[in-house]
């Protein structure tokens, strides 16, 4: 399981774009990159997942360079409600019915100010 | 879809007693369920992985006799904290993956706050 490294915390203001980068130098060929969001006293919530290049959904974009040793979660125009902890996880969970355990790193505590 | 529930959402118990926490997949069948523990201001720590009908696989350092996990059906897994002590007070979270669809997405429950007095 590849270890991930993220900034401990980040601050932003409402309306700004926030980019959180995660390093995973030992990512394996079969590993996917997944990001989760967690609010206090709640379970994590899936945000986005990708294998390479760029993935975009209704809430975020995920940028993965060709070497896949890092990834960047991009949150466009954050609001106060985006204040949460964001976790980057790497694991071999891409195959059908192939379930690998997810190991959570320290996460990034994002604080959005008005 | 893909909702996971936990019960109770919080529980207070006395030291030495046992507490059971339920994790249910409400609208899908979960072949694999995971149990995590989270202390304040810390990340989630994986405790064990359970597959329906088989024994759970515990992470290193987790006492299997203290944290009993039962995954009796495709929609229910239970975690029993036996002889609880104050140091077991924590936020316990379960997650599940389904039998169909993308397997990369784990669906997390809302968590159970355990306080041992």
Q: What is the pLDDT of residue A100?
A: 60
* R_g (Cα) of chain B, nearest Å: 13
Q: How do residues B59-71 score in pLDDT, each as one tens digit?
A: 999 999 999 999 8
> A-B interface: how many C-beta pairs under 8 angstroms?
60
Contact B92, B32 (CB under 8 A): no
- Give B112's contacts in chain A (Cβ within 8 Å): none
CA-nearest residue to A97 within chain B is: B103
Contact A60, A48 (CB under 8 A): yes
Residue A111, beta-bridge partner list: A11
Closest listed residue to residue A1, CA positions, set A105, A108, A78, A114? A105
Instruction: Determine, for residues A43 and B108 on separate chains, whether the beta-carbon distance falls below 8 Å.
Output: yes
Q: How do residues A16-69 score in pLDDT, each as one tens digit?
A: 999 999 999 988 888 889 999 999 999 999 899 999 999 999 999 999 999 999
Instruction: Determine, for residues B103 and A49 on separate chains, whether the beta-carbon distance falls below 8 Å.
Output: no
Instruction: Determine, for residues B104 and A49 on separate chains, whether the beta-carbon distance falls below 8 Å.
Output: yes
The answer to whether B36 contacts chain A (CB < 8 Å) is yes
Instruction: List the structure tokens of A38.
Output: 């967690």
Q: How do residues B4-57 score in pLDDT, each as one tens digit?
A: 999 999 999 999 999 999 999 998 888 889 999 999 989 999 999 888 888 899
Instruction: List the structure tokens of B77.
Output: 């897994």
**What's the CA gap between A49 and A30, in Å, rounded?**
13
The answer to whether B21 contacts chain A (CB < 8 Å) is no
Q: Which helix (H) or strand (E) element contains residue B97?
A: strand B90-98
């Amino acid at each position: 399981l590849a270890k991930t490294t993220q900034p401990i915390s980040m601050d932003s203001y409402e309306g700004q774009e926030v980019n959180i980068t995660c390093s995973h130098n030992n990512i394996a060929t079969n590993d996917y990159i997944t990001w989760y969001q967690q609010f206090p006293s709640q379970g994590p919530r899936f945000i986005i997942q990708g294998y390479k290049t760029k993935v975009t959904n209704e809430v975020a974009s995920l940028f993965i360079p060709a070497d896949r040793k890092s990834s960047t979660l991009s949150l466009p125009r954050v609001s106060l409600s985006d204040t949460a902890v964001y976790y980057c996880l790497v694991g071999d969970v891409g195959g059908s019915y192939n379930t690998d355990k997810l190991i959570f790193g320290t996460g990034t505590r994002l604080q959005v100010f008005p | 879809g893909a909702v996971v529930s936990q019960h109770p959402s919080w529980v207070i118990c006395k030291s030495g007693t046992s507490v059971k926490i339920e994790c249910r997949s409400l609208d899908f069948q979960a072949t694999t369920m995971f149990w995590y523990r989270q202390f304040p201001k810390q990340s989630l720590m994986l405790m064990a992985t359970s597959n329906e009908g088989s024994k759970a696989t515990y992470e290193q350092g987790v006492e299997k006799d203290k944290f009993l996990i039962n995954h009796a059906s495709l929609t229910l897994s239970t975690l029993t904290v036996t002889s609880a002590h104050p140091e077991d007070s924590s936020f316990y979270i379960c997650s599940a993956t389904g039998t169909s669809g993308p397997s990369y997405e784990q669906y997390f429950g809302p968590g159970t706050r355990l306080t041992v007095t």
